[in-house]
Amino acid sequence: MNKLAIVTGGGSGIGLAITEKFVRTGIRTVIIGRDKKKLDETQHRLGALCEPVCYDLTCLSGIPRLVQDLHKRFGQIDVLVNNAGINLKKEFTEVTDEEFQKILRTNVSSIFALSREVVKVMLDSSAGGAVINISSMASQYGIPKVIAYSASKAAIEGMTRAMAVELSPKGIRVNCIAPGFIATDMSAKALNNDPERKQKVMSRTPMGHLGTPANIGDAALFLASDAAKYITGIVLPVDGGNSIGF
């Protein structure tokens, strides 16, 4: 398959699993993160179709140049997965303005800036494209102690719909995956020292276990593929039934 994908945060957790699915299907995949060692290890593991690029996506002013360089180097961009994100678990009244802005800048502003630049490249090509955003159940639930994260993930779902209506007529599909509770370092930090929260998660997950990053990888591969060619603007829960569990 002669496609080029970008997966932000592709060096770990869910992004790594998405990258693995893409690469195994023959999609050349650029992974973006801040930790060069982690990115290089991922390339070593996945092989030459995985292309590491070390960049801090909160440096918004450099994003146009980053995308121009990728366009020059690879000639096309077919798929963008906006997966990179950070969380902060803290009492509502303890969160500072700086902390709130940092989450919004990483989880929202960088997605906007990167998508805007990548979409310009996609619009220049007759092949169109697919953008996949990663939100969270925190966009829909009232989860305590994650005020900035919840705001950011709700924003991602709103942006998905706004982008989809504007870009789908131009051949670019925009969708979102809302992962439930997936076993990664991020969820371990949120759940491992909080047995009450972990018990709550498990009790309302009909499938009875956390998801794996590969479960999200499968969904992303589907949404990136022609099998999803009439799907745009959706928020797909991949959550073992957590969102409908009682």
Strand order in the sheet with 235-238: 50-54, 28-33, 4-8, 79-82, 129-134, 172-179, 235-238
Number of residues that bind ligand NDP (CB under 6 A): 29
As measured in angstroms, the least distance from the Cβ of 40 to ligand NDP is 11
* In the complex, least distance from residue 170 CB atom to ligand NDP, rounded to whole angstroms: 26
**Cβ atoms 196, 182 nearer than 8 A:** no
Among 83, 115, 150, 205, binds ligand NDP (CB under 6 A): 83
Q: What residue number has its CB nearest to ligand NDP? A: 13
Closer to ligand NDP by Cβ: residue 58 or 115: 58
149 is catalytic: yes
Q: Is 187 in the site for ligand NDP (CB under 6 A)?
A: yes
Token readout for 28 is 């050349």
- Member of 4, 57, 63, 238 binding ligand NDP (CB under 6 A): 57
> Do residues 21 and 218 lie in contact, with contact meaning Cβ atoms separated by under 8 Å?
yes
Tell me how many degrees the CA angle 193-197-203 measures, rounded to the nearest 5. Answer: 135
Q: Which of 186, 201, 224, 236 binds ligand NDP (CB under 6 A)?
A: 186
84 binding ligand NDP? (CB under 6 A): yes
Interface of this chain with ligand NDP, residues 92 to 131, rule: CB under 6 A:
106
- Compute the distance between CA of residue 40 and CA of residue 214 in angstroms, rounded to an integer: 20
Q: Compute the chain's Rg from CA coordinates.
A: 17
Toward ligand NDP, which CB reaches closer, 15 or 240? 15
What residues contact residue 140 under an 8 Å CB cut-off, 6+ apart? 154, 178, 243
Binding site for ligand NDP (CB under 6 A): 8-9, 11-15, 32-35, 38, 56-58, 83-86, 106, 134, 136, 179, 181-182, 184-187
Residues with catalytic roles? 149
